[in-house]
Amino acid sequence: MRSILSVLLVLAIAATARSAAPKTTYTLHSQRKPGQTDRVTVLLEVGGETKYVDDGKPQREKMSVVCNLDYHEKTLDVPANGDGTWRSVRDYAKAAGVVKVGGDEFKPTLRADRRLICAEAAGQTSLLFSPLGKLARAELEVIDVQANSLLLDRLLPEKPVAAGDAWKHSGELLAAMLGLDEVAKTDVQSRLKEATDTLARFEIEGKVEGAIHGVATKIEIKGKYRLDLRRKRVDWLGLLVKEDRQGSLVADGVDAVSRLQMTVYPANEPESLADAALAKLPLKSTPELTQLTYESPGGWQFDHDRRWHVYRDQHDVAVFRMLDRGALTAQCNVSSLPQRAPDKLVSLEEFQADVRKALGKNFGEFVEAGQSVDDAKHRVLRVAVEGKASDIPIRWTYYHVADEQGRQAAFTFTVEKSLLERFAAADKPLVGSLRFVEQKEKKPEKENPRL
C-alpha cells in the first residue's frame, strides 16, 4: 500500500512540475528595413447594399466590388519606435476594379503614367499619392484598400508572447487600416495561434465603432495572418470585414461584407524603383502632391484638395461638397457654359445683375466684385454676395471664367458665414487651377434617384 501511495505521490509531483513549467515565448518583431523590395498582390471582393434616402424614404441597392492589385513596394522609412512615419514607394503592374451599383457598372483603373505611388502612414492616417502627377479620386479609391501593406507589420505584438496569448490593437492603427477618420471604441485583438520553426500564425477579431465622412460606422473584423520567421515579415493576410455605415453628405451608406487576401514576398528591385530612377522625384507628401484632379466631359478640369468630394456628376454640371474634419463646410457648383466670341463675353456689371436675379429674395448685398486675368490668361470675374437662406447668413461667391477662345465655365461657392474662417478662401486655388480641355463624347445619362 505504501509503495502504491509513493508512486502516486511521485506522479502528482511530476504533473505539478509539468503544469508549472513556463510557456515558450516568442519575440515576434518585424525586421522590415529601408531598401527592401517586396511583391504585393491583393484581391478584394465586396458584396452588399448601398443605403440612401429618396423623397424621405429609405432605399437600398445591390452593390459589389472586385479589385485586383499587383505591385512592387520598396520600403523607404521605418521609424525606430514605431510612432513615426512609415514610408514606401510602389510600382503598380495592375490596379483595376469593377464596381456595380444597381444597374450601373464602373471600371476604375490607374493610368499608366500614374502607376508610381508613394505611401505614408503615421498615427491614425495613411496616405497615397503619385510623385508623377495628381490622381483622380477614382484612381485613389481603386488603390486605397483596407489593410495597407505598409501597415501589416504593425499588427505584431510589442512584447514576447506565447501560443494562446492575445494583445489589443490601438484605435489609431485600426483607423489607418480601415480608412476611418477616427475610432471611438474598439475591442479588436490578435492572438498567436502557433509558432513553428518557419512561421507564426495569428488570428485577429473584434469590433470597431468610428466615423468616416462625418457619419457613424460599425465594423466587425475577423481574419488570419502569418509571420515568416526567417524574414521576420508578415507575408500573408486574410481578412473578413463586415460594415454597416450610415449615409453621409458626400456618399451613400453601405451594408456590406468585404473579403481581402494579401500576399507579400521578397522580390528583386525593378528599375523603376532603383535609387537612380527615384533620385529626382518628390517622395514625401506636400499639399500640392496630395491634391486630386477632376476632369469633366463638359470640357474643363481642375485640381482640388481631398476635402472636396463629388456629390453629383453630370455632363455639364458637377456639384462638390467640402468636408473638413467631418463637418460640411461648403458646396461648389461648377457648370459648363456655351462657347462665345471673346468680344461677346458677359461684362462684370451684367454678371452682377445675373447673380442678383439668381439669388432672388436671398440676396442681401454685394461685398466684393472684380475682374482679373489669371496665370493661364483666363479672364476671371469674381462676385461675392452676403444674404440669407432659410434665415441662415450665407456667403455666396460666384466666378465666371473664360479663355482666349471664349470657352467658359461658372463656379458658385456657398458657405455659411459662421464657417468662413474654416473655409479660408478655399475657392481661389480651385478656380485658379481650371484648365479647358477637349470635350469628351457625351454618353447617355442614366437615371439616378438620388440626383
How does pLDDT run along the chain (451 residues), one tens digit per residue?
445 545 445 455 555 545 555 789 999 999 999 999 999 999 999 999 999 888 888 889 999 999 999 999 999 999 987 678 999 999 999 999 999 999 899 999 999 999 999 999 998 999 999 999 999 999 999 999 999 999 999 999 999 999 999 999 999 999 999 999 999 999 999 999 999 999 999 999 999 999 999 899 999 999 999 999 999 999 999 999 999 999 988 889 999 999 999 999 999 999 999 999 999 999 999 999 999 999 988 889 999 999 999 998 877 889 999 998 888 999 999 999 999 999 999 999 999 999 999 999 999 999 999 999 999 999 999 999 999 999 999 999 999 999 999 999 999 999 999 999 999 999 999 999 999 988 765 443 333 333 2
For CA atoms 415, 416, 417, 420, the dihedral sign is negative
Contacts of 386 (CB under 8 A, 6+ apart): 364, 365, 367, 393, 394, 395, 396, 417
Residue 301, burial from CB neighbour count under 10 angstroms (0-12, 13-18, 19+): middle
The three cell numbers locating residue 179: 480608412
CATH assignment of the domain containing 389: 3.40.1000.10
Mark whether 110 and 133 lie in a shared domain. Answer: yes
Residue 5 covered by a domain? no
Whose CA is closest to 221, among 207, 235, 231?
207
Question: Do 182 and 104 fall into the same domain?
Answer: yes
Q: Do 44 and 93 share a structural domain?
A: yes
Same domain, 256 and 315: no
State which of 230, 246, 278 marks the end of a domain: 278
Number of domains in the chain: 2
Residues 120 and 214 in one domain: yes
b/e sequence 304-332, b meaning 16+ C-beta within 10 Å: beeebbbbeeebeebbbbbbbeeebbbbb
Torsion sign, CA atoms 276, 280, 286, 291 = negative
Claim to verify: residue 98 and residue 225 sit in the same structural domain: yes
Residue 35 lies in a domain: yes
For residue 275, which phi and psi values (nearest 5 degrees)?
-55, -40
Q: Are residues 380 and 251 in the same domain?
A: no
Residue 56 · residue 64 · CB < 8 Å: no
Residue 410 lies in a domain: yes
Contact yes or no for 402/379 (Cβ under 8 A):
yes
Residue 166 maps to which CATH number? Answer: 2.30.230
Q: Does 425 map to a domain?
A: yes
Decide: 427 and 401 in contact? Cβ < 8 Å.
no
Burial 133-161 (b: 16+ CB within 10 A, else e): ebbbbbbbbbbbbbbbbbbbbbbbbeeeb
- Provide the residue range defining the domain that includes 300: 292-436
- Identify how many contiguous H helices and E strands the chain contains and give both numbers: 7, 26
Q: Among residues 217, 250, 278, which one ends one of the domains?
A: 278
Question: Both 322 and 370 in a single domain?
Answer: yes
In a domain, 451, yes or no: no
In this structure, the answer to whether residues 155 and 230 fall within a common structural domain is yes
Torsion of CA 136, 141, 143, 148, to 10 degrees: 130
Q: Do 359 and 217 fall within a single domain?
A: no
Q: Is residue 9 part of a domain?
A: no
Which domain-ending residue is among 246, 278, 310?
A: 278
Task: Specify whether 131 is located in the same domain as 214.
Answer: yes
Retrieve residue 290's grid coordinates.
496630395
Asked whether residue 318 falls in the same domain as residue 266, the answer is no
